[in-house]
Every structure is written in structure tokens, then in C-alpha cells.
A and B are shown apart, each in its own frame.
Chain A
Amino acid sequence: QKEVEQNSGPLSVPEGAIASLNCTYSDRGSQSFFWYRQYSGKSPELIMFIYSNGDKEDGRFTAQLNKASQYVSLLIRDSQPSDSATYLCAVRNNNNDMRFGAGTRLTVKP
């Protein structure tokens, strides 16, 4: 079992819809959770981070964390074609070791 699991997709949503990206992790001691966006051929860039259970909203993006279920998700409201990218879930454990999921490829169709 991988430490951080994501559905590889592709996930396809129409423009204006809500895109829901999910991630599960195996290390119960994990402290910090990150979502990165990576356009094809480019480097990852941070979208959001979350440390506490619950929801965290930033513009069109909402990160949700449930430590009991070892589950973190990213919701993108009013999806735009420019949101088409691969989304990487990253989990940091106690020794600063960051583990990334393989990523979910999102396509937003106009």
C-alpha cells in the first residue's frame, strides 16, 4: 500500500462545475497536508495547505481534512479550463519527510 494514494484519473468536469479531488494517507502521525498543482511540463506549485480537521477555504478552493479517516480532499468550485492540470496531494510526517501521491489529472471542458 502506498503511503499517499490518489485516483490517477483523468477526472473530467464541465466548465463551471465543482471538481472533487481525493487523497488518503497511511501514516496516522502525519501533521501537515498540502495540495500542489502541476501543469504539464512544469514544476509543482502550492494551492493550499491544511493542518487541522475541517475545512479551509481560499477563493474557489476548499481543502477538507479528516484525520480520523486519514482523508484529505480538494474541492474546486466554478472550475475553469485553466484549472486543467495534475493535482498532487502531499503529506508531511513528523520527521519532515514529505510524501506525495502520484497525482490526479483534471480536465475542465469548456
Chain B
Amino acid sequence: DAGITQSPRYKITETGRQVTLMCHQTWSHSYMFWYRQDLGHGLRLIYYSAAADITDKGEVPDGYVVSRSKTENFPLTLESATRSQTSVYFCASAVAGDSEQFFGPGTRLTVL
């Protein structure tokens, strides 16, 4: 089915480990986004991408790396996970930068 998916849905890791969260969309949307959601902070933009091979920092990019070699995929990597990166991560896609964003189901990441 068409849509936006994230994997894994749940992940527990340890401090210092590298973790990659996957995001895949089947709509061929140009824009893709990564957010983290923490209690009291709402959704905060980590990185976004306007097209393949184009990425830009959002509000909280430190400690994260993204790539977008294909339009449909937008992986997020935590190169050395820290406890402060424990959060729920949402990927989203949109036709354009100012259009409706469609969110994936989220990944709950716990860093011990």
C-alpha cells in the first residue's frame, strides 16, 4: 500500500552506539522531514530534504546525520547515541515545503 513507513517502530540501544532510523514513502513527495517529539517540547525539526541529495538543518540537528540518495528514502543516523536522544522520532513527507505534511507512525527510541 502507498504511504509512509518507518522502521524500526521500537528500538533500545546503549550510549555511544550508532543507530539508523529508516523512513520510506511511496508518494514520490519531494520533501521529507525528521522530527523528534518530547514531552513539553512538541515536535522539533531535526533535518529536512527538498529533493534527493539536498538536505538542510532544522531546529535541533546536532548529533544527527541524514542522507537522501533516493527520493523515497530518508534515513536518520545517530552516530553516537546519547541518553538525551531518547525520544519518539517522526518522519514526514510533503509535496512542497508549505503543503500538508504526512507523518509516519513514529519510532520510539530509548538510549540506555
| Chain A residues at the B interface, C-beta cutoff of 8 Å | 4, 6, 8, 31-32, 34, 42-46, 49, 88, 90, 92, 95-103
Contact = CB atoms under 8 A, between A and B. Distances in A.
A43 B45 contact: no
A100 B42 contact: yes
A43 B104 contact: yes
B105 A97 contact: no
A32 B98 contact: yes
Contacts of A46: 100-101
Contact of A96 (B44, B48, B100, B105): B48
Mostly, the A contact residues are strand
Interface residues of B, number: 23
B45 A97 contact: yes
Contacts of B98: 31-32, 92, 96
Given A32-B98, A43-B103, A98 B45 contact: yes
Nearest to B98: A32
B45 A92 contact: no
Interface in B16-56: 31, 33, 35, 40-45, 48, 50, 56
Interface of B: 31, 33, 35, 40-45, 48, 50, 56, 58-59, 90, 97-98, 100-101, 103-106
A53 B106 CA distance: 33
Given A44-B90, A97-B58, A88 B101 contact: no
B97 A103 contact: no
A103 B100 CA distance: 18
A97 B103 contact: no
Nearest to A8: B40
Given A96-B50, A97-B45, A103-B42, A44 B103 contact: yes
A43 B101 contact: no
Most chain A CB atoms below 10 A, which of B40, B43, B44: B43
Contacts of A99: 45, 59
Nearest to B58: A97
Give me the 4 closest cross-chain CB pairs, A-B, nearest first: A96-B97, A43-B103, A102-B42, A100-B43
